[in-house]
Amino acid sequence: MQIAFSQHPPSVQWEPLPVPRLPGLMLWGWYRPQHLPSGMTIQIPPEVTAASQGGFPFTLGEILLAAGVDPMQLHSVSLFGAEWQPAAMITPYLQHAVPPCAPGIPAEIAVNVTEQMAGNWTGMPQQVPAATDAVAAEEESTGTGAMMYDRIESAWKVSLQMERQMSGLRKKLASVMKSLGKLDRELTPEERLASDREDRDAWQDARRWVRELSAKCHRELKSFDIGMTSGAGRRNAMEQLFKEVIEPRVPSNDLQTIHRDFETYRKDMTNLQKSMTAALQAASQNGTSRAQRILGTISRKIKARRAKLREPIGGTNMDKSVRRKS
C-alpha cells in the first residue's frame, strides 16, 4: 500500500516512484526538500523524456497517486520550473497527459501540499473532481479556517524560497555588472591599429549594449534591495503579519483579504525573479559574451600582426620599419 505523503519522512536520497498503470516506468521523488518542506520534487528520468517528445504517457493525477499525495491536499504545482499554479487552476487538468518538457529545461515537477487537509486516504485511485472556474471561485470566496491559514502559509513559504533564490541572482547580477563596467572602454592604441573599420564599429555597438545592460542590471538590483518585495518595501510587514496572525493561527475575520495580499506578494516575487533572471541572461549573452567575442577577434589580429612583424608576444623588439632605418 502506498504511504500517504503526510506520513512520509523527509528524503535522504531520490526515491523510486513507480506509475501503477505503466509497469516498468519509474519516476523519482524527493520528499520535503529543505527549500520545500511542505512539498516534494518529482524527477522524470532523461530516457523517459527523450522517448516522450510529444507529451508524457502519464497524467499529473497518476504522479500524485505514485507519490502518495491526496489530490484534495494539493495546494500548488510548478511544472518544469514554470510559475507556481494554484490547485484551483491545476485540478481540472489532473487527468490530462503531462505536456512535453522543452529542451534544456530540467524535467522536474514541484508539488506543494496542504497536509492539514489530508483525510483517511488509502492510496487507492480516486476520481479527481472536475472543478470548474465557478466552483474554484466559490471555494476561494468561502474558504475559511485551517484551509485558508494553510494557503497563506504556503504562499509565504514559496515567497521565502524565491527570496533565497533571488539572493543568489543578486550576487550574480552584481558580478556581471563589474564585468560590464570593465568592458565599457575605448580600444587600446594597439587594438585600434590591428583592427579594421568593421571591428571598431562592432566594438562601439557592443559598448552601447554593455551600457544599456549594465543600467538594466542596476535597476533589477535596486528593485530587489529597496523595492516593494524588500525589507524597505512590504516584506517586513508581510513577515510580521505572518508571525503574529498566520503562524500561531490567531482567529481573524479578514483571512480572505490577507490571503489575497500574500498571493499578490508571491506573484510580485515571481515577476521580480523572472525579471532578474532575464537581465542576467541578457547581460551574459548580449553584453559580456558579445564584447569578449569582438575583443577576441581583435586579439587574434594583434597576434597575427606581431607575427608578421616578427615581434615575439610580450616582447619589446622594434618592428621592421624601425629596424630598416637603423
Domain residue extents for the chain? 5-132, 153-314
Reported confidence tier of residue 294, pLDDT bands at 50, 70, 90:
very high
Tens of pLDDT, residues 266-279: 888 888 888 898 89
Residues present in the chain in total: 326
> Cα separation of 155 and 270, whole Å?
11
**The predicted structure's pLDDT at residue 326:** 43
Bigger pLDDT: 157 vs 311: 157
Q: How far is CA 93 from the centre of its chain?
A: 23
**The predicted structure's pLDDT at residue 315:** 53
pLDDT greater than 60 at residue 126: no
> Cα separation of 251 and 239, whole Å?
17
The grid coordinates listed for 326 are 637603423
Bigger pLDDT: 290 vs 134: 290
Contacts of 291 (CB under 8 A, 6+ apart): 183, 203, 206, 207, 209, 210
Reported confidence tier of residue 116, pLDDT bands at 50, 70, 90:
low
Q: What is the mean pLDDT of residues 125-145?
A: 42
Q: What is the mean pLDDT of residues 159-186?
A: 91
Tens of pLDDT, residues 70-96: 888 888 898 888 878 888 788 878 888
- Which whole-number Å values give the CA distances from 214 to 121, 219, 231, 285, 289, in the listed order? 54, 9, 24, 13, 14
pLDDT greater than 70 at residue 321: no
C-beta of residue 62 within 8 angstroms of C-beta of residue 100: no
pLDDT greater than 60 at residue 105: yes
74: closest CA among 87, 60, 59? 87
Cβ atoms within 10 Å, residue 130: 10
Tens of pLDDT, residues 185-241: 999 999 999 999 999 999 999 999 999 999 999 999 999 998 877 777 888 889 999
- Rg from Cα positions in the chain: 28
End-to-end CA distance of the chain: 94
Give the three-class secondary structure for 14: coil
Q: What is the mean pLDDT of residues 301-314?
A: 79
Q: Kind and range of the H or E element at 140?
A: helix 133-142
Reported confidence tier of residue 312, pLDDT bands at 50, 70, 90:
low
Reported confidence tier of residue 136, pLDDT bands at 50, 70, 90:
very low
| Amino acid code (one letter) for 237 | A
**The predicted structure's pLDDT at residue 38:** 86
pLDDT greater than 90 at residue 180: yes
Reported confidence tier of residue 164, pLDDT bands at 50, 70, 90:
confident
Strand order in the sheet with 26-31: 15-18, 26-31, 39-43, 108-113, 74-79, 85-86
